[in-house]
Structure 1
Amino acid sequence: MAKPLRIATINTNGIRAAYRRGMGAWLDSREVDILAIQEVRASTEDIEALLGPDWDILHDAATAKGRAGVALASRKASDHGKASIHRVSLGDEEFDSAGRWLEADYEVNGKIITVVSTYVHSGEADTPKQVEKYKFLDAMSNRLPELAAHSEYAVVLGDLNVGHRELDIKNWKGNVKRAGFLPRERSYFDRFLGPLGEDVTGVDGTTGKGLGWVDVGRQRSGEVEGPYTWWSWRGQAFTNDTGWRIDYQLATPALADTVVEYAVDRAEAYDQRWSDHTPVVVDYDI
């Protein structure tokens, strides 16, 4: 029997810095088949040098050097085909999504699985940064149905910079007016994850059609706080587990049905962290 396909996502907060702190040891130990990376902040050559010759690399850099950047790395020895098609555009032509959206198709046991590494804008309430974030979420709303039509096995993973529900942020009451937990942002996720084709009323009171995607983390963890995936470097946030769950694997229902394992690889101690995010690792038995 073939082993499940292991897909992981991590916002490295700069891959070179993450490797200096220990990312390589984590990757060597986890037998990941496909790795989605956000906030690469490095060149393709840098990624290839860090990961080594055992990986095929796809990378979409941000327009501004040293900012954002997303990548997909697939292990050459794994039981899947090299990416046959990859796409980087999202939204209208005038919308700059560079370094924030990277799709690739892989063949696994005769099936095509589409994997997307994405880094949604962090935003800032009542500023142009928030306008750009809503543009990105609008573009995602349009692209998700196209992805599902392209392949019944599709997964969008990465730092989506929105805590969907109160369970996803430790101090949610103190963040209801901050980017990352604004009602309008959360309502996008209500629609992303709502029943396909049904009217869904978001927490901001707006109504739209559900897109039918599955939040693998919430499906597997149940109605519990977290498990969180990001903690501030400052103060005692990590030690006290005062975090946010903003790193996701959103899957089509057919792919979500194949999940056999979900893990948040939280470091054992503050000084063992190599990013302010932690990897989210899912096994899909396709």
Structure 2
Amino acid sequence: MGSSLFKLTSLNLNGIRSASTKGVERWIATTRPDCICVQEVKAQAADLAGRFEQLDEMRGHFHLAQKKGYSGVGVYTRHEPSDVLAGFGCEEFDAEGRYVELRFDTPARRLSIISAYFPSGSSGEERQQAKFRFLERFHPHLMALKASREFILCGDLNIAHQQIDLKNWRSNQKNSGFLPEERAWMTKLLHTEDADGGLVDVYRQLQPTATDTAYTWWSNRGQAYAKNVGWRLDYHLATPALAALARQEAIYKDEKFSDHAPITIDYEFRL
């Protein structure tokens, strides 16, 4: 692999301390991404201090939830950002630690790497309504960002966009993560000719028809992992100029430090 490639990984940790006991640090040291976006850190600043501020010589920047053992996102990077933004300006969801943006601006470019963790609505109607509120607030934020800079957003979106993005799509049409409203939100975001869209699902650009190999999450019930009854919930969403630089992708299904698999995409640029 040429050194000109920028290796960007996204991984829902399902708890950084838990993932650590299952070997995530060894895996990161082996695969050596330039940058890794993590979600569900499930830790407070005191838990990270002296232990998780750095991974494989990458410095971490975090947006943690106020509630203990809940949510939280981070970006570990080998390159010093010009700015770090924790939260996207929505009090309800910023309290839950769902967004951190690292800016790598130079006189020649404005570029961000973002780690985001969308709410899950699977626990019931109250959280599903919160998820809809998040989507409603988050869309204009992404559009404003797209108008002013190039970015790649990595994260657990808790949405499978199309039928090929989950094994049992027929039986899940009324379940959170594959609801018509959630899928429509994604379709609008990715619409190539709509002024309210224009982002690119980078994995799908590289693998437009992949099904069984595309999944990044498996339920803990009913031998879902063993039978590969999965969902594609983890994404790289990029502005078109950066998406055009994507060269290859890898989903590491065999790694088991979480109920999610890491997804790495190599881009032909350097920070």
TM-score (ref. length: structure 1): 0.86
Find the partner of 1:233 among 213, 220, 233: 220
Instruction: Give yes or no for the alignment of 1:283 onto 2:266.
Output: yes
Task: State the alpha-carbon separation in 1 of the partners of residues 107 and 222 from structure 2.
Answer: 47
Alpha-carbon distance, 1:3 to partner: 2.1
Match of 2:210 in 1: 224
Q: Secondary structure at the match of 1:103?
A: strand
Instruction: Give yes or no for the alignment of 1:70 onto 2:68.
Output: no
Q: 1:15 to 1:264 in 2, by over 3 A?
A: same
Cα deviations across residues 131-187 of structure 1 (Å, max 9, x unaligned)? 110111112211111111221x30111100000000001001111001000000111
Match of 2:21 in 1: 20
Match of 1:144 in 2: 142
Cα deviations across residues 40-61 of structure 1 (Å, max 9, x unaligned)? 0123454461444722111111
Of 249-258 and 56-65, deviating more is 56-65
Tell me if structure 2 keeps the 8 A contact 1:59–1:70.
yes
Alpha-carbon distance, 1:265 to partner: 1.1
Tell me if structure 1 keeps the 8 A contact 2:103–2:113.
yes
Q: 1:145 to 1:22 in 2, by over 3 A?
A: same
Q: 1:36 to 1:180 in 2, by over 3 A?
A: same
* Alignment-mate amino acid for residue 39 of structure 2: Q
Match of 1:203 in 2: none
Alpha-carbon distance, 1:210 to partner: 4.0
Of 235-244 and 106-115, deviating more is 106-115
Instruction: Give yes or no for the alignment of 1:178 onto 2:187.
Output: no
Tell me if structure 2 keeps the 8 A contact 1:91–1:136.
no
Q: Secondary structure at the match of 1:281?
A: strand
Alpha-carbon distance, 1:111 to partner: 3.7
Task: State the alpha-carbon separation in 2 of the partners of residues 127 and 157 from structure 1.
Answer: 26
Cα deviations across residues 209-256 of structure 1 (Å, max 9, x unaligned)? 541000011111112315100012233211111100000000000000
Task: State the alpha-carbon separation in 2 of the partners of residues 40 and 94 from structure 1.
Answer: 19
Tell me if structure 1 keeps the 8 A contact 2:143–2:196.
no
Alpha-carbon distance, 1:63 to partner: 1.8
Task: State the alpha-carbon separation in 1 of the partners of residues 166 and 237 from structure 2.
Answer: 18
Match of 1:42 in 2: 43
Find the partner of 1:162 among 145, 156, 159: 159
Tell me if structure 1 keeps the 8 A contact 2:250–2:265.
yes
User: Once superposed, which parts of structure 1, at least 4 consecutive aligned residues long, lie more than 6 Å away?
Assistant: none
Tell me if structure 2 keeps the 8 A contact 1:38–1:119.
yes
Unaligned runs of at least 5 residues, structure 1: 76-80, 198-208
Match of 2:31 in 1: 30
Task: State the alpha-carbon separation in 2 of the partners of residues 130 and 31 from structure 1.
Answer: 36
Unaligned runs of at least 5 residues, structure 2: none
Matches within 5 A, 1:109-120: 111-120=109-118
* Alignment-mate amino acid for residue 61 of structure 1: L
Q: Secondary structure at the match of 2:217?
A: coil
Tell me if structure 1 keeps the 8 A contact 2:35–2:58.
no
Tell me if structure 1 keeps the 8 A contact 2:81–2:104.
yes
Tell me if structure 1 keeps the 8 A contact 2:25–2:56.
no
Alpha-carbon distance, 1:284 to partner: 1.0
Task: State the alpha-carbon separation in 2 of the partners of residues 53 and 282 from structure 1.
Answer: 19
